[in-house]
Amino acid sequence: MTRLRQKFIEDLEVRNYAASTIRAYVRHVTAFAQYFSQSPDRLGRQQIHRYQLYLVRECKLATPSLSQIVSGLRFFYETTLGRPWVSERIPYPRHERRLPTVLSRAEVAVLLDTPRNLKHRAMLMTLYGAGLRVSELVNLQPGDIDSKRKFIRVRQGKGRKDRETLLPDKLLTALRAYWKISKPVEWLFPGQNPERPISSNAVRLVCRGTAQKAKLSKHVNPHVLRHSFATHLLEDGVDLRTIQVLLGHRDLKTTTVYLHLSPTVAASTRSPLDRLTTPAP
């Protein structure tokens, strides 16, 4: 490992970046340097701009991936190298505002009833019933399930923050049935190696495969179940602030997207036109 790479990693660690973010940033800076076959400290603004065009035009990367790459390069140049970052000339890509996919309650019910594997069913029910991110699901430990208080403790979720979310009765019953058969020790959902948690990709494959068996037309991934959890809470009259806390959103603006996803909320809202009184002739 070069001194520059080591300093980059240490700069990220001392600022408490998540391990997954550190790996991603190091991978992005390494790929950037390899593209030009030079050490990254010898590259600058012009090369970054050319690399962005390459990623957009040839690699056709999605906006979130582009943003993460720019963030990694920015940290490397600003913090590790101590160089100024000219945001006007090295812009972040504009985010496409697309509404996420949401399952109906009937579709969720079919999906959760499909798996015969207790572990798969418990994972899907946890994603939907607690509104977890896939990274939060795979890092759950048996001790995070508080059956007395009916809460699930999410340790070091996104933004390195702990929080508590719901543990509905149906989910608790499913987790108990799964635990009696599997008896997980360190991780609630271990991988093939019981000393390691199941991978996020394996959970995504379970979601996709179960949706295909259930003959759902929508593409289902862990985040679709999280979106469905939030949207259905909103339809049940739960306020946005509570949903924000349960999801672990830092900004309430992130949570307001669910106002656009619920046809029930839209249908129950009256236009002010209908409240106008007709003037007397």
Which class for 270: exposed (0-12), middle (13-18), buried (19 or more C-beta within 10 A)?
exposed
DSSP secondary structure letter of residue 275? G
Helix (H, G, I), strand (E, B) or coil at 165: strand
Query: Residue 132 to residues 23, 239, 244: CA-CA distances in angstroms?
Result: 22, 18, 12
Q: Which residues are catalytic?
A: 133, 158, 223, 226, 249, 258
**C-alpha to C-alpha distance for 218 and 252, rounded to whole angstroms:** 27
Q: In the structure encoding, which two tokens stand for residue 77, read together?
A: 């140049």
Residue recorded with tokens 């999280």: 226
**C-alpha to C-alpha distance for 178 and 119, rounded to whole angstroms:** 6
Q: Which residues pair with 197 in a beta bridge?
A: 190
**C-alpha to C-alpha distance for 230 and 259, rounded to whole angstroms:** 10
DSSP secondary structure letter of residue 210? H
- Short-list 11, 1, 83, CA closest to 42: 83
